[in-house]
Amino acid sequence: MNKQTFDQLNETLYYEQLDNGLDVYILPKAGFNKSFATFTTKYGSIDNHFIPLGKKDALKVPDGIAHFLEHKLFEDEDGDVFQLFSKQGASANAFTSFTRTAYLFSSTSSVEQNLKTLLDFVQKPYFTEESVEKEKGIIGQEIKMYDDNPDWRGYFGLISNLYEYHPVKIDIAGTIESINEVTKDLLYTCYETFYHPNNMLLFIVGNVDPEEMMKLVKENQAAKEFSKPEKIDRFFEAEPPEVDQASQEIAMNVKTGKCLVGFKDRSPDRQGEALLKHELSINILLEMMFGPSSENYETLYEEGLIDDTFSFDYSGELGFGFSVIGGDTSKPDELSDRIKSMVEEFVKRELHEETMESIRKKKIGYFLKSLNSPEYIANQFTRYQFNDMNLFDVIPTLESITIEDLNAAMAEHFKTDTQYSKCLVKPKGDS
Amino acid sequence: MEAVNVNQFTEGPVCVHVIQSKTYKTNTLVLHIRAPLTKEDHTKRALLPLVMQSGSKDYPTRQKIRQSLDELYGASLTGDVNKKGENHLISFRLEVANERYLKDNTPLLEEAFKMMTSVVANPLVEDGGFKDSILTSEKRNLKQRIESVYDDKIRYANMRLNEEMCKDEPYGLFVYGNASELDEITPAALYDYYKKIMQEDVLDLYVVGDVEVDEIKKLVQAHLAFPERKDQTPSSAEKEKTRTIEENEIIEQQDLKQGKLHLGYRTNITYQDDEYFALQLFNGLFGGFSHSKLFINVREKASLAYYAASRVESHKGLLMVMSGIETSNYDKAVRIIREQMEAMKNGDFDDAQLEQTKAVLKNQLLETMDAPRGLVELMYHNELGEKKRELDEWIPGIEKVTKEDVVSVAEKVELDTIYFLKGTEDDSGE
């Protein structure tokens, strides 16, 4: 077993890659009652065009199928896996993102039993026509719940402005129509292709003995048979570097409007250190431009254009990357114009070393705070690993970023002529 | 379970609770300022923490406060209001990195402590009132916050259910106040209200982290010194009277894709009562978890909803069910939910299910204790109720509950109000 220590943070990480290709990471945390494990496949909503395992021809699958599969894995011949976890005192859950599907449990007792349950249910698909049909009702309600949610609609509205072809623009759960096309056989096809241990990562964090945990995982995996690991071919249409659409308005049954503006990465091909540096740089820049301690924030707040829902975020993976800025506002048009011109002003000015230092400190403190959360560690570590980065490099990388790095990221990312778009949510009948 | 070392002392009117733990990489401060929820003051009270954290004597603008927090390695400071039973809490929370994990050795805890107490104890005052411009922007901020509840339909349905169900009780008041009262609030009136709460409200400060008790004592003495109060018993919320309940059905309509079905029950049991743990088990079996009756029957079997859950308000003794359904399925969903409640009253669950619920509840409790805020939340129950329960009494309390206890809780639970926010969308095209 490999062992890596992070002295400054007082953490030790254990790692091994098993014979079947599964990556296993264990981070012991003394003092916590809770143990937490995530079992994640590198398969998300964007993986809708690929060559199925053992086949020659590429297949396009219905939107939302990765998420549908996530729901269905919780059912097996003997019933509902939630039940099994709760009998063992654990709570289980799962989520599907653009690029990952994660299954997880947290428990304060019977950690070993729960870990076995996690490995076993994810590695034992069981779908019937009947249960697939029933799930369509449940997921249909999940989709409708999001349809009534103005934040979600605004967010996906913006992404669909930014991208012309890339499947990141498709809602993770799909649509009522697309999930109707899901069948038992299609679910098996996706499962066989993407749930090979070689495409998965197990992360265990909590009050555990790493040696014992690793032994358990190895024995569990050795008792199962898997085909030889194969590289998965996924296809994405060529995406233009510029945004697809500069603006969109959505009328909804709301009282307060929303304004979201976004910037699309021109060349989202970074991985590893380059991606880590890029995303941290964009985050620092966003904080300098629009963080609560910035001049711009103060101005927008004083002008009554924003309230404390105003925020920003950057998402970057192989193939796509974008930042989102915005929040609730009674004047969506005015706010989007102001944000745009503030960005234009900002890129013209010189960056101050002092402001950068202050933001750097803030980011380091936030990172320490997030290490209190086993959920954060497990989820983020996996995301970083799938992009060839290491979560524990965040502080050293934050410390190494220079004004030049920021200038380079700024020049590429914050271009209002070609990379910018806005999505406004407005009260119905208000336009 | 890791032993939790709690030290308690009072300094003037402030009751200080120090929870020593080496588990976290941060130190957490929580100050609760408590008073009864009243129609007269609830809007002012919601506005106050927003105004206070927008400027203090030492940090006269929002931006100055935020910049200083950034300098303290992104210390986070939030001030907000909450409703616990019929108490209206103003809470300030601050979390700051423990400097031992940093290369820098600025005394972060002390600096952060100064920040928070400056906001709480030394507000920015001009001409006998809060600063006019701050008041204006925070009124706007709060107004938008109140309105945004309408936009989040789950929260909106919750608020409406509370309003309808507790029409004649303080609990029916909305935690963020009433937007139409905002215009009336003057800088001087709000400052008078501030002075009043500093004289009268109950103050509890929690400090969680790898800290020394003496160190905290010194910090409190140096920065959070309030004048001693005249001997007075703190006013606490009125005890609920027994009332006769008639089932009430409220149906509203909005342009929505999904209907929101929320049901309010009176459990007639609160944190004060010995049956409190049995109530937790009742809720767990009925709708609290993914193995409970609502999840299995509304979602898994009937496929009517993505979520169908219940939760308990510990200090008011209410149980709220919420679910998102197709508008046309209203009758069916209500029928299934009623049937589940009947099943609970009939003791239609076995020992294995009871044990399963105990296991999940214990797990949830231990997990809550893993987070500094969760720990504070649990401990604060003891200040809200007259009943004191130590943290290590909770798990044995859950263990002891029998099936008979749960059934006897079920017998007390009464449906009060059904609230349905129905959609207009034609949903026949599924």
Task: Evaluate if residue B348 carries a pLDDT over 80.
Answer: yes
* SS3 category, B16: strand
pLDDT tens digit sequence for A400-409: 999 999 999 9
pLDDT tens digit sequence for A309-364: 999 999 999 999 999 999 999 999 999 999 999 999 999 999 999 999 999 999 99
Q: Which residues of chain A neighbour B74 with C-beta distances below 8 Å?
A: 361-366, 369
Q: Which one is predicted more confidently, B107 or B82?
A: B82
Q: Whole-number mean pLDDT of chain B?
A: 92
**Residue B10: which region, alpha, beta or left (left: phi > 0; alpha: psi -120 to 50)?**
beta
pLDDT tens digit sequence for B205-264: 999 999 999 999 999 999 887 777 876 665 555 555 556 778 999 999 999 999 999 999
CATH number for the domain formed by residue range(s) B5-223: 3.30.830.10
Q: Does B328 touch chain A (CB under 8 A)?
A: no
Torsion sign, CA atoms A303, A304, A308, A309 = negative
Q: Give the DSSP per-residue string, A345-387.
A: HHHHSPPPHHHHHHHHHHHHHHHHHHTT-HHHHHHHHHHHHHT
* Least CB–CB distance from B256: residue in A82, A148, A373: A148
pLDDT of amino acid B237: 56
pLDDT of amino acid B240: 56
Q: What is the mean pLDDT of residues B147-154?
A: 95
Rounded Cα distance, B285 and B288, in Å: 7
Residue in chain A closest to B301 (alpha carbons) equals A134
pLDDT of amino acid B185: 97
Q: In this structure, how many other beta carbons lie within 10 angstroms of the beta carbon of residue B69?
A: 24
Give residue A369's pLDDT band: very low, low, confident or very high (50, 70, 90): confident
CATH number for the domain formed by residue range(s) B248-423: 3.30.830.10
In chain B, CATH 3.30.830.10 sits at 5-223, 248-423
- Structure token digits, residue A331: 């004047």
CA neighbor of A259 nearest in space, from A269, A267, A249, A268: A249
**B306 contacts A307? CB cut-off 8 A:** no
Q: Give the DSSP per-residue string, B219-285.
A: HHHHH---PPPPS-PPP-PPPPPP-----EEEEEE-S-SSEEEEEEEE-S--TTSTTHHHHHHHHII
Rounded Cα distance, A200 and A392, in Å: 20
Q: What is the mean pLDDT of residues A129-152?
A: 96
* Least CB–CB distance from A253: residue in B62, B141, B254: B254
Q: Are strands B26-36 and B202-209 parallel, antiparallel or unpaired?
A: antiparallel
Q: Are A143 and A173 in contact (CB under 8 A)?
A: yes
pLDDT tens digit sequence for B43-67: 999 999 999 999 999 999 999 999 9
Q: Give the DSSP per-residue string, A293-353.
A: TSHHHHHHHHTTS--TT-EEEEEEETTEEEEEEEEEES-HHHHHHHHHHHHHHHHHSPPPH
Q: Give the DSSP per-residue string, B200-214.
A: HSEEEEEEEES--HH
A to B CB pairs, distance under 8 Å: 203
Q: Which domains does chain A have, with CATH numbers?
A: 2-223 (3.30.830.10), 247-427 (3.30.830.10)
Angle between helices A272-290 and A332-348 (to 10 degrees): 110
* Least CB–CB distance from B255: residue in A9, A374, A428: A428
Rounded to two decimals, the ipTM of the complex is: 0.91
Q: Which residues of chain A neighbour B306 with C-beta distances below 8 Å?
A: 138-139, 141-142, 145
* Catalytic residue set of A: 70
**B300 contacts A302? CB cut-off 8 A:** no
CA neighbor of B369 nearest in space, from B29, B21, B8: B21
Q: What is the mean pLDDT of residues B393-399?
A: 95
Task: Evaluate if residue A39 carries a pLDDT over 70.
Answer: yes
Cβ contacts of residue B368 below 8 Å, gap of 6+?
Answer: B374, B375, B377, B378
**B26 contacts A372? CB cut-off 8 A:** yes
Q: What is the mean pLDDT of residues B386-403?
A: 92
CB-count exposure of residue A311 (10 Å: 0-12, 13-18, 19+): middle
Task: Evaluate if residue B399 carries a pLDDT over 90.
Answer: yes
How far apart, in Å, are the Cα atoms of A42 and each of A160, A203, A231, A268, A386?
23, 14, 12, 18, 7
CB-count exposure of residue A318 (10 Å: 0-12, 13-18, 19+): middle
